[in-house]
Every structure is written in structure tokens, then in C-alpha cells.
Amino acid sequence: MHKQQSFPFFAAEGRMHIILSLALAIVMQLFAGTSVALPFWLLAVFVLQFFRDPPRTVPDGEGEIVCPAHGKVVFTGVVKDPYLERNALKISIFMNVFSVHSNFTPYAGIIQKIWYNSGKFLNAALDKASEENERNAIWIRTSDGQDIVFIQIAGLVARRILCHVVEGEKVDRGQRYGFIRFGSRVDVYLPETARSTVSIGDSVMSGNDIIGQLNAMT
């Protein structure tokens, strides 16, 4: 079974950007003509596609980890979780400027802690971006006591991480919780016993696709 999640087709976080870009294009069209206005129309089209936020069909299978970001898988493997100091299965997804930039919780649980760190704006496709870039990390604990950490990471162009949840809040799997403007990355740290269902280079859709599988606690 699946559950549908519908949002306004354009993200609320981009409302002002959309209004301003369209208004500028219209003004240039009216007062300067098509040849001058064309670059502004192209800019408006870019802004519209960047802030698109189409409906999702969220999987609800037992133990399924929902993809938190739309983009390409750039890393999967067991590493040290820098937040919980444990070995963990890490899956990283890079979002370019043509990706959908709204973010979704990978699993249901209660938010234990949120860490925000200011930092650099390196290319988010690089592994060192996980440690050096501006980032916002969320730790949730599932109903059966498993810990999942997922991190919004700013990129080369991104300059604003938006997070709409707070510590102590109960979240659903596939819940829309944030947005990153203009190119970025999301890392997910799962229990070491979890299994990745994606490979490096795979294209994945936020809120729709499954990127991993939790094993039941014994």
C-alpha cells in the first residue's frame, strides 16, 4: 500500500522568487520589448522549474527507507556516523539546480536532536562537503528504537537551508520537512545492519523511491 501526499505544485519557499521573476519579465516585456525581455523570461522559467513541488506517492512497506531528496546517488557504504559516533550505512544524494529541492523524512520517528553548523559552500557532489559545508542534521528514533540521522547540506550555489521541524516532534515517513535553495546534498546515516537498495549513479525521486531497508530489531 502507498499513501498520497499532495502539495501546491510550486513550493511555498519559492513564492516570492516566483512573483519577483515573473513581475520583472512582464515589466521588461511591456517597457522594453521581447528582445530585451527574453533573458528575464528565461530566468522566470528557471525559477518556476526550480521551485516545482509535485505530488508524491509515499511507500509504506515495513522497514522501507524513503528517499529524502531528488537527485543522484553519489555515495553508499558503511562509515563512521559523526553525530552518533557509531558505524552506520551512509547514503548520499546530490541535487543539482534542476532537481526538486523539497526534502522528506526517510522514516517515521521522534526527533531526538537537531544540529545546525555554519560552514563552507563547496561543490555538494564532493564527499568532503559532508564535513565542511553549511549543514543541518536531524536525528530521529524509530518506534522500535533504531536511530536514523539525515543531513541537509548546502552546495556551491545554495545559500539557504530551510527546516520546518523541531526537537521532540513526531514525524511521519515521507513527511515534507524542509527545502534547500539552489543546488545541494542530503546524507542519510542508517543502522549498520540496514541494507542499501540503491547504487552510486542511480537517479532517485524524493518521497517516491526506496533507498534502503531496515532490519527488524532482535
Q: Which residues are catalytic?
A: 184
Q: Which of 71, 135, 147 is nearest to 111 (CA)?
A: 147
CB within 8 A of 116, min separation 6: which ones? 135, 136, 137, 161, 163
137 has which bridge partners?
Answer: 115, 151
Q: Which triple of cell numbers denotes residue 14?
A: 519559492
Q: Which of 109, 166, 107 is nearest to 143 (CA)?
A: 109
162 has which bridge partners?
Answer: 179
Contact between residue 67 and residue 106 where contact means Cβ atoms under 8 Å apart: yes
CA 55 to chain centre: 15
Query: Hey, how many other C-beta atoms are within 10 angstroms of the C-beta on 127?
Result: 13
Query: Hey, how many other C-beta atoms are within 10 angstroms of the C-beta on 177?
Result: 21
Locate all alpha helices (DSSP H) within 51-182, ordered by sequence: 129-132
